[in-house]
Amino acid sequence: MSNEESQPSPTVPSDLVEAALRAAQKRGTAVADVSMQAIAQEAGISRSTLLRRLGGARHALDEAVRAAGFDPGGHKPVRERAVEAGAALISDNGLGALSLERVAAAAECSVHSLYAVFGGRDGMMQAIFERYGPFVNIEAILATHPGDLRSIVRSIYAHLAEVVGLEPRVLPAILAEVLARPGDDATRALARHMVPRLYASIGEWLASEVAAGRVRDMPLIALIHQMSNPLLMHLLLRPALELVPGLDLPSVEEMCDAFAEAFVRAVGLPDSDS
């Protein structure tokens, strides 16, 4: 495929793809073997700016180069191969299918290397959820999103809808495991990671909204459930609902709007939306 016929990945600006290709050509090597510093220098920006524009992940640039019709070459690091392989296992067979041995086989690496990278199964599981779960972007939304209560909630809902529908379907598989086997060792290990993260992101933000007089003073876990559970339940049931003949199902965007409105009406105090 020629570069005239191809289209760069929509998530990575074309100027960064072009800078990576120029840097690789100058060095006579594959894009994957060119350092981030060299690519940043070619693009005329700092390495930190490059990472920020890539969303913090090198793999996004390699995928954009591939989408542009060029082979980035190289071999993905063990960590990335293992996270992708583990996510596919969880999506296809549930959280219980995740083992170091299965991931090592799928990622074409050794179990020893997985211990070296993750420290064990729990660490690998946390890395997978970090990559395919919602917290990183939700934290970014809460840190940078200006606006009223409704618009912030609506942005979070849009991201949740994206994550639930993302392939491999890691979040739905994990939630199904939590509901089916709450006492399982894997579920408890993941809960030890997820619950503190939940309180440190959405929980702290909701607590600050209560303190500012914009949200009703309710138990924090009740506020978190009031905000997340209705939309999550709809998103998890939606694939089945779409099969019901004659059901006039609103779009995901319309449902996000409706649930955001319902949340604000339920917990918002006067002037919270101003």
Question: Hey, which CATH number is domain 14-67, 1.10.10, 1.20.1630, 1.20.120, 1.10.287?
Answer: 1.10.10
Q: How confident is the model at residue 166 (pLDDT cuts 50, 70, 90)?
A: confident
By percentage, how much of the chain surpasses pLDDT 70? 93
CATH number at 133-267: 1.10.357.10
**E strand or H helix at 188, and its extent?**
helix 185-198
Q: What average pLDDT does the chain have?
A: 87
- Which pLDDT belongs to residue 74? 65
- Cβ atoms of 53 and 72 within 8 Å: the answer is no
pLDDT at 2: 36
Q: Is the pLDDT of residue 3 over 70?
A: no
DSSP summary character for residue 200 = I
Query: What sign does the dihedral 65-48-82-181 (CA atoms) show?
Result: negative
Q: What is the phi/psi pair of residue 136, to 5°?
A: -60, -50
Residue 98 pLDDT > 80: yes
**Domain positions in the chain:** 14-67, 78-120, 133-267
Higher pLDDT, 250 or 72: 250
Under CATH, which number does the domain 78-120 receive? 1.10.10.60
Comparing 14-67 with 78-120, is the CATH topology the same? yes
Mean pLDDT of 218-226: 96
- The yes-or-no verdict on residue 249 having pLDDT over 80 is yes
Per-state percent for the chain, helix, strand, coil, to nearest 5: 70, 0, 30
Vertex 82 angle, CA 76 and 86, to 5°: 140
pLDDT the model gives residue 218 = 95
Q: Which pLDDT score, from 0 to 100, does residue 1 have?
A: 38
Q: Which tens digits make up the pLDDT trace of 105-147?
A: 998 788 988 898 899 999 999 999 989 999 989 999 998 877 7
135 neighbors 197 (Cβ within 8 angstroms)? yes
From the list 197, 224, 194, the residue with the least C-alpha distance to 209 is 224
